[in-house]
């Protein structure tokens, strides 16, 4: 869609826990444990809007 042709996601994601560990180690942190977990939740549309409006919207 042309409207979003230049959209750039405001969040930063890496693919693996090892990539996150490497990033933090390059910034002089000692990484003791690194793990990526998937969390699934269920919300009504009103709850989703409230959650999004409470902070995530700032990225836009």
Bigger pLDDT: 59 vs 32? 32
Q: What is the pTM of this model?
A: 0.56
The residues, any chain, with a CB within 8 Å of residue 13's CB and separated by 6 or more, are: none
Q: How far from chain centre, in Å, is Cα 52?
A: 13
Domain with 52, as residue range(s), is 2-59
Indicate the pLDDT class of residue 5, thresholds 50, 70 and 90.
confident
- Report how far residue 24's alpha carbon sits from residue 38's, in angstroms, rounded to the nearest whole number: 21
Indicate the pLDDT class of residue 60, thresholds 50, 70 and 90.
low
Bigger pLDDT: 22 vs 12? 22
The residues, any chain, with a CB within 8 Å of residue 20's CB and separated by 6 or more, are: 14, 34, 36
The C-alpha R_g of the chain, in whole angstroms, comes to: 16
Total of domains in the chain: 1
First to last CA, the chain: 18
């Amino acid at each position: 869609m042309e409207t979003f042709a230049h959209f750039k996601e405001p969040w930063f994601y890496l693919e693996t826990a090892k990539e996150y560990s490497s990033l933090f180690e390059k910034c002089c942190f000692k990484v003791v444990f690194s793990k990526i977990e998937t969390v699934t939740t269920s919300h009504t549309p009103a709850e989703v809007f409230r959650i999004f409006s409470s902070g995530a919207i700032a990225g836009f």
